[in-house]
Each structure stands twice: as structure tokens, then as C-alpha cells.
Amino acid sequence: MTKTLLSCRDLVVEYPTADGTLRAVDRVSLDIEHGQTLALVGESGCGKSTLARAIMGLARVTSGSIKLEGEELVGLSQRELRKYRPAIQMVFQNPYGSLNPRLPVGRIIEEPMMVQNVGTEAMRRKRVLDLLDRVGLTAAAAAQYPHQFSGGQRQRIAIARALALSPKLIVCDEPVSALDVSVQAQVLNLLVELQRDLGVSYLFISHDLAVVRHIAHATTVMYLGQIAARSSSREFWKVPAHPYVQALRDATPSMEAIRSGVSSHPVLEGEIPSALNPPAGCRFSSRCSYAIDVCRETEPPLRQVTEQSWVACHRVSVAADGTVMSPAIQQTAN
């Protein structure tokens, strides 16, 4: 069994606005295991990036807990957090904006080691060359500047920088969304290879299920600041019990649809409601074709429906033989 690396419990992140308090992350709990990848999926505005920033210590936590190998991080001062910084690093979405254009690549990768006073200058320079080689770039790249590289190469540089302090967890916030499809596959393959060789864990944030399908060991789906469903990735694709998960999966084109140029599945309709004024009851009820009165009145708890699957939906049931009955399956049966 794997040991939990990072654990969040009942995490809340709020922002004051002119129109009231916006609760971007609402009582979220999740676990990331050593050497595993947890995919965090959802539409833009659901709170994924805010959760990532809270884990990184870049967003103030209103309440709740974040523990790294059992050590509580919430409430620590910036000085106290400093010793935990090397363990959690981040790869940002935009490789064109996340690298300092005025610094050569070697200095960009070396900088985290300089900040943490790691090794001598000679040791750091050797580490930089080793990291460039590991991410598939030549030693000559150390003397070049970010504008001399393609988007995929820049993201490799960002990954090398994230690896500089030998982290236990890398938060990947939409790391391939700004790249061409062919380049996406190369970067994803690199992340898988690094995890295999180094044992690093990933929190992989994306709105694209096709991207996370082959990289994640477990998948958590967020909707309007809350967790709608979570499961092992095998269970996620086998039984998409929650209507929102079903809609996201149906909106992900199959290989047959890509070849034919026609999708047989409808795209999820409607806009995600405002987090300043979320719907009563289930937050997905305003867009759910299976919603009934209880869905609009009572918030569904996140409950376990199989050994590796949890779902927040009143309409999901479990048959006597253990089969998970989603609203779609029940409607078909009736």
C-alpha cells in the first residue's frame, strides 16, 4: 500500500469582493499518495487553480487542513513554510509567461537552488546540466534564453526548474493546455517517465479528460468549488455515476469521432453558476437533466459507492449486487 504524501481536509478558500464573499474552494478533502498522480478535473472557474495555489502556499486558506507527510502547513508563517518549499514545486500553464525572459535557461533552473542555498556554484551548475539532459535538452540550452525555444521546449525547462530541489510533489496546473496536441503527448510522456524514474507525485490539473486519462492513477472532479466525484481512474472511466462526470466524459471525443470528424455526444450545456450565489441544494442541479426536487433543495453528501469511488449525487444508488446505478442507467431501466 502507498503512504499518503499530501492530505487536504475540509479546505476552504474565500476571497472578499465588492459583491460579497466568493468561496472559491468549499470544504474540499483529497489525498495524494507517494509516486502517484491525482488528476483534478473541472471546467474553468470551478476552483482547481485556487486549490493548487492554496497547496503551494500562494493563496490564504480560510479554514481546513493541509498536511505534508503528517505535518500541518496551514497557519505557518512564510518563514516556517520555507523548509517545506523544496518538497512541493509547480509547473504553470503558460510556458511563455512562467520563465523570466531576461535570464538564461541555466540561471532559471539554478535559481531555486540558489534561493534555498543548495550546494556550491559548481555543484549547482552540474545539477543544471543533468536536469537539462533528463528533460531532453542539450547542455547548450543553459546559455540560451527562453525566447529561443518552442512552447514544448519551454515547458521542459519549467519541468527541469521544478525538479531542481528534488521535490516529492509537483503541482501541474494545466501544463499542456497551451501546447499543440503532438507536443502535449511528448510532455505527458516525459512526466510519466520522470515519475517512474524519480518516484515524484503529481497533482495534475486539467479541464481535458483526454489529457488525464493515461496519466492519472486517481481522478477528482470539481464543480463550483466542491468535489462532485472522486475515484481511481479505472473506476472513473468504467462507471461515470455522477451526471456531471458523465457529461464531461461524453464531451470528450472518442478516436472514432476524431477520425470521422463527427461527435455523437452533446456538449455540456449552460454556464457554470456564479460562486458568489451558488444554487441551493446540488450545485449542478441547474444544469442537470436528471434533477428532481430533492436535488434543488438539499446538498448531496460525498458518499462512497464502491471501494474506490465516491460521488455527491442524490440520484445515484447501489443495487443489491453492488452495481452502481447512475441516473442515466435508472432512467433507461424505467
What's the chain's average pLDDT?
Answer: 89
Domain that holds residue 275: 238-333
Residue 228 lies in a domain: no
Per-residue pLDDT at 247: 86
For residue 14, name the pLDDT band (cuts at 50, 70, 90).
very high
Do 86 and 182 belong to one domain? yes
Do 217 and 307 belong to one domain? no
User: pLDDT over 90 for what percent of the chain?
Assistant: 71
Do 100 and 192 belong to one domain? yes
For residue 214, name the pLDDT band (cuts at 50, 70, 90).
confident
Residues 145-192: pLDDT tens digits? 999 999 999 999 999 999 999 999 999 999 998 888 889 999 999 999
CATH number at residue 202: 3.40.50.300
SS3 annotation, the chain: CCCEEEEEEEEEEEEEECCEEEEEEEEEEEEEECCCEEEEECCCCCCHHHHHHHHHCCCCCCEEEEEECCEECCCCCHHHHHHHHHHEEEECCCCCCCCCCCCCHHHHHHHHHHHCCCCCHHHHHHHHHHHHHHCCCCHHHHHCCHHHCCHHHHHHHHHHHHHCCCCCEEEEECCCCCCCHHHHHHHHHHHHHHHHHHCCEEEEEECCHHHHCCCCCEEEEEECCEEEEEEEHHHHHHCCCCHHHHHHHHCCCCHHHHHHCCCCCCCCCCCCCCCCCCCCCCCCHHHCCCCCHHHHHCCCCCEEEECCEEECCCCCEECCCCCEECHHHHHHHC
Residue 232 lies in a domain: no
For residue 257, name the pLDDT band (cuts at 50, 70, 90).
very low
Per-residue pLDDT at 268: 67
The yes-or-no verdict on residue 259 having pLDDT over 50 is: no
**What total number of domains does the chain contain?**
2
For residue 120, name the pLDDT band (cuts at 50, 70, 90).
very high
Do 191 and 247 belong to one domain? no
Residue 69 lies in a domain: yes
Do 147 and 121 belong to one domain? yes
Residue 229 lies in a domain: no
Residues 51-103: pLDDT tens digits? 999 999 999 999 999 999 999 999 999 899 999 999 999 999 888 889 999 99
Average pLDDT estimate for 28-39: 96
Average pLDDT estimate for 43-55: 93
Residue 128 lies in a domain: yes
Residue 300 lies in a domain: yes
Do 126 and 209 belong to one domain? yes
For residue 331, name the pLDDT band (cuts at 50, 70, 90).
low
Average pLDDT estimate for 3-27: 95
